[in-house]
A and B are shown apart, each in its own frame.
Chain A
Amino acid sequence: MRFILRRLGFYLIAFWASITLNFLLPRFMPGDPVSRMFARTQGKMQPEQIEALRKMLGVDTRPLWEQYVDYMHNILTGQMGVSISRFPTPVTEVIASQIGWTLLLGGTALVFAAIIGNLLGILAAWRRGGAIDSALPPLLIFIGSFPYFWLAMGALYLFGVVLGWFPIRHAFTDGLEPAFTWEFIGDVGAHLVLPALTIVLVSIGGWMLGMRNTMIATNAEDYITMAEAKGLRPGRIMLRYAARNAMLPSVTSFGMSLGFVVGGAMLTEVVFAYPGVGYQLLNAVQGLDYPLMQGLFLTITAAVLLANFLVDILYVRLDPRVRSN
């Protein structure tokens, strides 16, 4: 319980740090973002909205700490202002309509990469020097060396443009009504294949090597020799004795890699024009939509922190040493 509380405190501090960063950045940046944005909306903004924006982005004559208290209050009550590029939709609404797609893409890719990567790692460590162990790691390191977005471009070109197997843009076909029908789900699935495949390809190597290296250490433990001496089936020893005990670092990296997946998903989303938060963040940057940019950054951070917290809770369940501490 103390462990959980400590971690919770840490995540709160991390979240506070990102809010503060959001607060400070526009205030120490040269130039005035509000007038730049105002020029962009071509006078569609109401005077009070401009006033609110000025406050939010720091074009404000009040003392800094007063602005800070105000800003914190707004963020914690979910008032992130209105989006400029999608004027006058509130930022929270824009984010809500998009975060689902990122969760779908990132989640699918993460789960597939983790499962396949860990299984390959288990097999590689179990048959050291075998085919999987000698051929796959260099190949996967090589694939992992390509930038996410470049693999995405390659996949889009090869499977989307040249072969035409999969759709190349967006999350579902234009004009199709989002609904829980097989047609729609199948369509979303087809649009998901290429973006998810890129992320899986890039991240799978890290999982495999991590698992392999932990598993090699585990394989040298006495209880493995003991299990062999007892005459247990090799498959049982591999999965229930060795792999099970080598899993813990993988669980930790599951949490850690979430941040990377969000980043990778972001670039992939841009290549495929996939309507998730990453694609939106880039649009916001290009459209000088500072409120949306800040809102998206906070949302992504909050999601990553929350996911890490869940992994911590899982960790307590899995590792009794943490509980007794």
Chain B
Amino acid sequence: MTTAILKKPTEPTAARKPNRSFVHGLITNKKALVGMIVMLVFIALALLAPVLFPGDPSRITAMASLEPSPEHWLGTTAKGQDVLALTVHGSRSSLFVGLIVGFGSTFIGILVGLASAYFGKFIDEALSLVTNVFLLLPGLPLLVILAAFLPPGLGTVILVLVVTGWAGSARVLRSQALSIRSKDFVAAAVVSGERAGRIMFREILPNMASIVMGTLLGCVIYGIGAQAGLEFLGLGDVSTVSWGNNLFWAGNEGALLTGSWWVFVPSGVCIALVAFALALINYAVDEVTNPRLRKIKTPKNTERSAAK
């Protein structure tokens, strides 16, 4: 979808221009702006959580199942914990795991994708096969079975999420790297005797920066959502405070049936807001780099060639 930025990378002026307009486009893009503001708010909350709500958020501070009130803005759980403190503290683990999983799976995706595209032949066949197998295996059941067999803990959660999450990014990055691999400047680098690692990371990788960013955002969204799902099933690290665990306890303590909507709404809304903000930034990156998706005045243009 984002091949447009690479249409004329061989002309030096054209190669530099998209970069500047990329940052500019992202800042002036309304979607990106909204997304970035929401993300900044959540990151600030996560960092400030120990200041805003000092002490252990899961300690019991009040009567059980209180409705939202001035003392407890979001009410209390069936155990008597403050929901707002749990939610704010939950952002730390959720964002942390999401970011680690996002960077981890994007990193593996870059390695596999670049190696596939650069070396080609047998290595490409083998890596693509592994990638496609991982893509096809149903993610959540695989997650569950891995989490069930490995010793519980935060490390397991991260490991399992990276194992199930890297394949998608590897596939996208491979196809992008393939199209750059066939460009003249890569051939020139090969002829001039540059080492494989240098060509992969210094020549090819910088030219697919925008798609790497899109993949990274997608992986972070996946990480946050999958962690929440895993924890909701009770397969995460139950001792930490996170959005997924908050929902797990809400379900376990029967918040739905007793009508304590304030216990399960905040954490879910937070997950959705973060995922939505990241998705907005992602779509904005797509729009900025793929002119076809931008709003245009005349709905039909005569240019042919399939995008995608």
Q: Which residues of A contact B (CB under 8 A)?
A: 10-11, 13-14, 17-18, 22, 25-26, 29-30, 128-129, 141-142, 144-150, 153-154, 156-157, 161-162, 213-214, 216-222, 225, 249, 256, 258-260, 262-264, 266-267, 270-271, 278, 281-282, 285-286, 293-294, 296-297, 300-301, 304-305, 308
Contacts and interface: CB of A to CB of B under 8 A. Distances in A.
B150 A29 contact: yes
Nearest to A205: B279
B96 interface: no
A281 B302 contact: no
Interface of B is mostly: helix
B200 to A, nearest CB: 27
A148 B292 CA distance: 31
Interface of B: 1, 129, 132-133, 135-142, 144-151, 221, 225, 228-229, 232-235, 247, 250-251, 256-257, 259, 261, 264-265, 267-268, 271-273, 275-276, 279-280, 283, 292-293, 295, 299-304, 306-308
B301 A220 contact: yes
Given A147-B268, A147-B271, A305-B136, 10 more contacts: A29-B150, A153-B250, A222-B304, A225-B300, A262-B138, A263-B140, A263-B141, A264-B140, A285-B235, A300-B141
Nearest to A285: B148
Contacts of A150: 228, 247, 264, 267-268, 271-272
A143 B20 CA distance: 33
B272 A128 contact: no
Contacts of B272: 142, 145-147, 150
B32 to A, nearest CB: 13
A217 B307 contact: yes
A153 B251 contact: yes
A2 to B, nearest CB: 16
Given A146-B272, A153-B251, A157-B256, A267 B140 contact: yes
B138 A304 contact: yes
A14 B268 contact: no
B151 A30 contact: yes
Contacts of A266: 140-141, 144
Interface of A is mostly: helix
Contact of A146 (B133, B140, B271): B271
B308 A17 contact: no
Nearest to B230: A267
B73 to A, nearest CB: 20
Contacts, number: 164
A217 to B, nearest CB: 5
Given A17-B133, A154-B268, A161 B256 contact: yes
B225 A14 contact: no
A161 B136 contact: no
A271 B151 contact: no
A1 to B, nearest CB: 21
Contacts of B136: 11, 14, 259, 304-305, 308
What 5 A-B pairs have minimum CB-CB distances, sorted nearest first?
A: A263-B140, A150-B268, A145-B275, A145-B276, A259-B138
A141 to B, nearest CB: 5
A129 B299 contact: yes
Contacts of B293: 213, 216
Contacts of A222: 304
5 contacts: A129-B295, A145-B272, A147-B272, A153-B251, A263-B140
A227 to B, nearest CB: 12
B276 A141 contact: yes
A301 B145 CA distance: 12
Nearest to A277: B141
**From B146, B250, B256, B264, residue with most partner A Cβ within 10 Å:** B256
A145 B243 CA distance: 14
Contact of A219 (B228, B271, B280, B300): B300
A42 B286 CA distance: 58
Contacts of B138: 258-260, 262-263, 300-301, 304
Contacts of A258: 138
A220 B304 contact: yes
Contacts of A263: 138-141, 229
B68 to A, nearest CB: 16
Contacts of A271: 251
Nearest to B247: A150
B145 A270 contact: no
A294 B133 contact: no
B215 to A, nearest CB: 16
A308 B233 CA distance: 27
Contact of B308 (A30, A128, A217, A219): A217
